[in-house]
Amino acid sequence: MSLSISQQQLVEQFSLLKSWEDKYRFILRLGKSVPAMDDVLKVDDVLLNGCESNVWFYGEVVDDNLHLNIYSDAKIVRGLIAIICESFQGLALDEVVTFDCAQFLEQLGLLSHLSPSRGNGIRAIIEQIAKLAQKH
């Protein structure tokens, strides 16, 4: 599968960042773009298991388009959420199901720098997105 425009843009942006510290700062900046979630929505029913920090996941498919509202109390995870959401942007539902987002994040040089528990949490988010797309 070739890369979508959003994925290509992420690859280009990360290719400009030479050190892990630069990537880390960039991820934190991206995390600021994730809209705050109203406390009323932060309920246990949508809290993802397997994440080191709290991650609330809302997703729906409307007119064959994926709509994601994901939030974390951890700054770095919010940045990774922004990257994950951007990497799925514009994909058809069948592409969402087959897209190996974990491999893509590794291509960006991200997963190898995360703790095992944080990596598991990121994989839980990706898995939840794929399940949502599979339902439709």
Catalytically active residues are 51
| Contact predicate 55/121, CB 8 Å | yes
Instruction: Give 55's Cβ-side CA count (13 Å radius).
Output: 27
Return phi, psi of residue 36, to 5°.
-60, 145
Question: Quick one: tokens of 63?
Answer: 């007119």
Residue 21 pairs in a beta bridge with none
| Contact predicate 23/109, CB 8 Å | yes
CA 89 to chain centre: 10
